[in-house]
Structure 1
Amino acid sequence: MTAPRKLTIGVLAIQGGFIEHSHALRQCDAVERVVEFTNAKEMAAQPLDGIVLPGGESSAMAVLLESFDLLEPLRAYVRAGKAVWGTCAGMILLSDSIKHAKLGGQSLVGGLHATTVRNAFGRQKESFIATLDVPDVVLADREKPFRAVFIRAPIIESVGDDVRVLARVVRPSAPPDAEPDIVAVRQDRILATSFHPELTRDIRFHEYFCRMVAGEV
């Protein structure tokens, strides 16, 4: 039996939590190499099986994407149906539309048929950790709860018909009868989470992304 091909995963490394993502990905058995890239030349230097857009400051990242000529290559990558995962700011960048954008708006990579609300959970001091209920097909070992870290996190307000909701959470400040907010989705080869799996020791979301890249899920 032929062994599965090992993956090369790119991580956008211009701002935010890219080091933590790289560390988590290197712990995944399916990954052979992690490539941190900061410009279009580095991104195109070798074939990337998937790309991670990390958390950070989405408006600052958008400016840097334009400065480093990365916006159009990333858009083309998504349009080509390649696997992409955005966490927090990365989720904002992947969304087709956003609310509470900075004055004057900001550039987006787009591709995810969703409207995302920036900083929906409040300021830095409103950061929190929540246990998520995630389908078995996404995370192995369902009996082990996934504790998600939310830092100035966005939420997804609405999704297209082709977007599957993977996880929801009720914000700590919400009234008892509040509806939970969407915090993780998948659309074909696009994965988006408003929280930061890279800030925990739980690599199950990274493993799921690798399975998605490999076409196993």
Structure 2
Amino acid sequence: MVKIGVLGLQGAVREHVRSIEASGAEAVVIKKIEQLNDVDGLVLPGGESTTMRKLIDQYGFMEPLQEFIAAGNPIFGTCAGLILLAKRIQGNDNAHLQALNVTVERNSFGRQRESFEAALNIKGFDEPFTGVFIRAPHIVEAGEGVDVLAEHNGRIVAVQEGSFLGCSFHPELTEDHRIMEYFVEMVKSSLAVKNG
């Protein structure tokens, strides 16, 4: 069974654990750097990206996360996790992990009270997926090599680039686990390549 970590510093950790387990993988809440050695993929959950970055710095996670990325391990960023993963943040020179070749704009769908749900047509899915948008970012620009998986009102809200998956919304807040199942398959494919 594949093991998928959820960075457990802040945000919707429990909900992601539930979704990973519902998708047939083992979930590990990552609170210590050395736990990264035990997982095959990683979820960066939604939360508050500035707070998460402070905690990443405080607990010395930045370099180990960059090493995890450099080793080709799959990473899935949702909402704030997408912001952490992005190469560029609009209006901010200091992007975080600078892994996923996109430019994101924070809080582009409004504040907390303007949260909403929308039916999204996601590439490769037969039925629409309900996206839960809470102070969500959106992808202003998808760079070379990035596959756009979903848009909402002309804004890019889900992408994949190689072993990186990112979405603006919160798939873990629904009972529909298809996006997490998609990520679990990405992790399995990555392992198959590594194990040759």
TM-score (structure 1 length as normaliser): 0.84
Q: C-alpha separation between the residues in 1 aligned to 2:143 and 2:164?
A: 13
Larger Rg: 1
Cα distance in structure 2, aligned partners of 1:41 and 1:212: 23
Unaligned runs of 5+ in 2: 191-196
Which whole-Å CA distance do the structure 2 matches of 1:110 and 1:39 have between them? 22
| Aligned with residue 147 of structure 1, among 120, 130, 144 | 130
Structure 1 gaps, min length 5 = 1-5, 171-179
Note the C-alpha offset of 1:99.
1.8
Counterpart pick for 1:205 among 161, 179, 189: 179
Match of 1:175 in 2: none
- Tell whether 2:12 aligns with 1:8: no
Tell me if 1:23 matches 2:6. Answer: no
Is residue 84 of structure 2 the alignment partner of residue 93 of structure 1? yes
Match for residue 55 of structure 1 among 46, 49, 59: 46
**TM-score of the aligned structures, taking structure 2 as reference length:** 0.93
Identity %: 42
* Partner of residue 74, structure 2: 83
Runs of 4+ in 1 over 4 A off after TM superposition: none
CA contact (8 A) 2:36 2:68 kept: no
Deviation track 1:55-94 (CA, whole Å, cap 9, x = no partner) reads 0000000000000111111111112211000000000000
Q: Report the structure, 1 or 2, having the larger helix content.
A: 2
Please, what is the CA RMSD of the aligned residues?
A: 1.4
Counterpart AA for 2:70: R
* Amino acid paired to 1:185: V
Q: In structure 2, what residue type is equivalent to 1:8?
A: K
Aligned equivalents of 1:53 and 1:127: distance in 2? Answer: 20
Q: Would you say how many aligned residue pairs link Structure 1 and Structure 2?
A: 190
Q: Is the 8 A contact 1:157 1:181 kept in 2?
A: yes
